[in-house]
Structure 1
């Protein structure tokens, strides 16, 4: 990316109108939530979840006041990426600095609250829990992987872009709902002696200089208050994301299990295939068991053998942008190692785990299948997998079915995704046991897709 590239040049033209509509909807939802913020009428639980919702939809908490958490996680798209034109092209989303794109597509937030604190299961030989595609939000510090996840995007230079965690607190101290937070956390939450240049510092996109990692200069007492409040902000967001508004269990599947409606013949056949030994879908995407909610994930990580997605703008972010930041030092040679990259890096909190990093290279967290087809309109395109390479449920099922049985081809081949597949990006740790050659017919693929569509929340019993 050239240093003079404008924000508009980096965003596909077809996406700009959609982005504006999403921003308008985010503002509408925030205003609606603010209008119901009457603490005297709410118990403590609903105060916290409402505060978390307001924060989640507040665009002012990003460096350029243009990107809320919700920008990548809107309800009409199953709390995942809400811009069809981006899903169809870049797969990843621009940050508050609109020339900066992340290396992965946005995950869905639905049912993420059920993920445990990251731990290693010796019997399974798997890491279980955590958040993000690479599991790096472990939950070990806050005893909540979801709360720790909420602290990532605000400080990520390619997402919300704040330069210092205290900037989140500083910005929130100026918002109209500050009093609601003080009612929950105490007035001390924002009693911080801010330096005179706080506004200027917090308007500067991250990352901070290596020699000055916390550029909003606070003494130890004020830094401690800011960190505590930053943690409470994250916990409020996690409370909202753990609420029934985000996790309603209201899909057709749930009503079928409750005996209130029946699957169609194709949906029933698809569910049978989903549970069959030949496909083993529900080994990783578990549909429930004794004392277990049907979450359609086991919270482990796997390498599905996906091809590289050259459409990710991150590959081009190999030169300094207008602000001097280089997001991708490796350029086109960048290889996303997923959980293995996290385990080998500085964010790994457990030294014993580092020895297992190589075995988890190329593995990414197994997402829930709930709301995998939730979309605001029939022609809305969703992107799938960590790099957004697949663009429909049909492509996903076909990939699982034929990854190893169809011939290899180069990216861009006329038969790609139908009659052939490009080589896996990282074949060494590829899952060869549960997918690749399922020997399903096209009709059976379609039946699996029909079943997956029954996992969309908001099903109406009245038709």
Structure 2
């Protein structure tokens, strides 16, 4: 059972009502100057219940720093519950290893809102079937098919034959169980060493008896089973613990008619959903599903955006090194599908205002930096791209030249050209940031 099906089995396909929602949000400021939603909906949130014994075991493992080589790094160290289960620091990446001096390879993603995340696939999401998809075959078909432009309110882009789903920035894990194991063994992160070392620590952990109670005494003698059950317990904790998916933002309550947006927040929502302006909702879907599930603010697809190279990353000191996302180096099963090189997963924007590192390489440190990049990448690249020693603007400098054709230049606002008017004004950007702040959990509703 994967992370997508752990919650609300049989809920059916998640069909977005984006087109209707986009129309309804147009002119909201005029429709209701007090900032209330004129068309409130009822949102279906995950059920809240006491943690199962399995989830309680997972919680103990999640906070256990002794599993790391340093003895100071746990899952919660990088995925801090006080920071929406994202990184607690302001740097582009977290530090790990035996002396907490080794850089992680990529910016730490949040662990929130993964309970409905689909498995990795190439092509349209086929729902919860268990059919094995030939990735190479689908990729070959995608290379020959026309790409549908992604705009807010347009459902057609869901049919694009592009990578989608999966966990991490490159989708190399399909389940929360698999995702938990990677950082545990990564020498740049928890650096747990071999499976044998990790199993030995689990056998002597304060919670070891819980394994026996749940799985029987023999589980401690079976190294492979012990680690698998430990990671499954961590996954159960993430699924059952409500703070991983609370849906308690101001925007959630506004959707339900229980909160009011300010004029700036309303303008930001309109700009977010406007395909002729920011077009954020083209990838970061803002509409509830037709059956009332709250929006996840991601379409789970992959994009090559051509973000600038981050000189602060040690790996980038080698001019020949490139992080190509789906093509590697961390994902290794489809490197030949070069039409996807440079693509990274579209993250949720929930709680994005709590972050200080954006994009896969953490190159941006504020929402203003991100919006400037979207706004000026194509019209005024000199504002957001580095320069070479001779002053030449180095656009797409974090991709080898042979893969730069993969960069999205069709979806608004990336359909503009040098000299064109940018999609957003400075006030537009400020209003969008105001709206993005309404996606932070922990808001206290009016009723």
TM-score, L = length of structure 1? 0.70
Q: Which residue of 2 aligns with 1:372?
A: 352
Partners of 1:252 and 1:181 lie apart in 2 by 40
Partners of 1:187 and 1:294 lie apart in 2 by 43
Q: CA deviation at 1:54?
A: 1.5
Q: Is the 8 A contact 1:119 1:127 kept in 2?
A: yes
Bigger shift: residues 250-259 or 70-79: 70-79
Alignment pair present for 1:251 and 2:249: yes
Partners of 2:408 and 2:247 lie apart in 1 by 30
Alignment pair present for 1:130 and 2:166: yes
Q: CA deviation at 1:424?
A: 4.2
Alignment pair present for 1:229 and 2:245: no
Q: Aligned in 2, Cα 1:407/1:132: closer, same or farther, shift over 3 Å?
A: closer
Q: CA deviation at 1:300?
A: 1.3
Q: Which residue of 1 aligns with 2:31?
A: none
Q: Which residue of 2 aligns with 1:162?
A: 192
Q: CA deviation at 1:181?
A: 2.6
Tell me, which stretches of 5 or more residues in structure 1 are unaligned? 1-42, 140-144, 193-224, 317-330, 376-381
- 1:285-324 to structure 2, matched below 5 A, reads 285-287=284-286, 288-291=288-291, 292-315=293-316
Q: Aligned in 2, Cα 1:342/1:332: closer, same or farther, shift over 3 Å?
A: closer
How big is each residue's C-alpha offset from its partner over 1:6-32, in whole Å with a ceiling of 9 and x where there is no partner?
Answer: xxxxxxxxxxxxxxxxxxxxxxxxxxx
Aligned to 1:267, which of 255, 265, 268?
265
Secondary structure at the aligned position of 1:408 is classed as helix
Of the two structures, which has the highest relative contact order with CA contacts closer than 8 Å and spacing of 6 or more? 2
Q: CA deviation at 1:172?
A: 1.4
Aligned to 1:453, which of 428, 434, 437?
437
Q: Which residue of 1 aligns with 2:325?
A: 338
Q: CA deviation at 1:241?
A: 1.9
Partners of 2:186 and 2:232 lie apart in 1 by 18
Alignment pair present for 1:425 and 2:412: no
Partners of 1:68 and 1:343 lie apart in 2 by 21
Q: Is the 8 A contact 1:309 1:387 kept in 2?
A: yes
Q: Which residue of 2 aligns with 1:101?
A: 103
Partners of 1:57 and 1:96 lie apart in 2 by 17
Aligned residues: 346
Q: Is the 8 A contact 2:323 2:329 kept in 1?
A: no
Partners of 2:212 and 2:245 lie apart in 1 by 27
Partners of 1:92 and 1:163 lie apart in 2 by 21
Q: Which residue of 2 aligns with 1:81?
A: 87
Q: CA deviation at 1:462?
A: 6.5
How big is each residue's C-alpha offset from its partner over 1:12-71, in whole Å with a ceiling of 9 and x where there is no partner?
Answer: xxxxxxxxxxxxxxxxxxxxxxxxxxxxxxx99522222212111110011221211111
Aligned to 1:360, which of 337, 340, 357?
340
- 1:361-440 to structure 2, matched below 5 A, reads 361-374=341-354, 382-408=356-382, 411=386, 422-426=395-399, 427-434=404-411, 435-436=413-414, 437=416, 439-440=423-424
Q: Is the 8 A contact 1:126 1:301 kept in 2?
A: yes
Partners of 2:80 and 2:204 lie apart in 1 by 25
- Once superposed, what is the RMSD of the aligned Cα atoms? 2.5
Secondary structure at the aligned position of 1:285 is classed as coil
Q: CA deviation at 1:233?
A: 1.2
Partners of 2:443 and 2:172 lie apart in 1 by 33
Q: CA deviation at 1:290?
A: 1.8
Tell me, which stretches of 5 or more residues in structure 2 are unaligned? 1-48, 125-158, 417-421
Q: Which residue of 2 aligns with 1:53?
A: 59
Partners of 2:116 and 2:295 lie apart in 1 by 11
Q: CA deviation at 1:263?
A: 0.8
Secondary structure at the aligned position of 1:236 is classed as helix
Q: Is the 8 A contact 2:352 2:439 kept in 1?
A: yes
How big is each residue's C-alpha offset from its partner over 1:211-262, in whole Å with a ceiling of 9 and x where there is no partner?
Answer: xxxxxxxxxxxxxx21122111111111222231211111111111111111
Secondary structure at the aligned position of 1:112 is classed as coil
Q: Is the 8 A contact 1:374 1:457 kept in 2?
A: no
Partners of 2:168 and 2:313 lie apart in 1 by 18
Partners of 2:216 and 2:354 lie apart in 1 by 39
Q: Aligned in 2, Cα 1:439/1:280: closer, same or farther, shift over 3 Å?
A: closer
Secondary structure at the aligned position of 1:254 is classed as helix
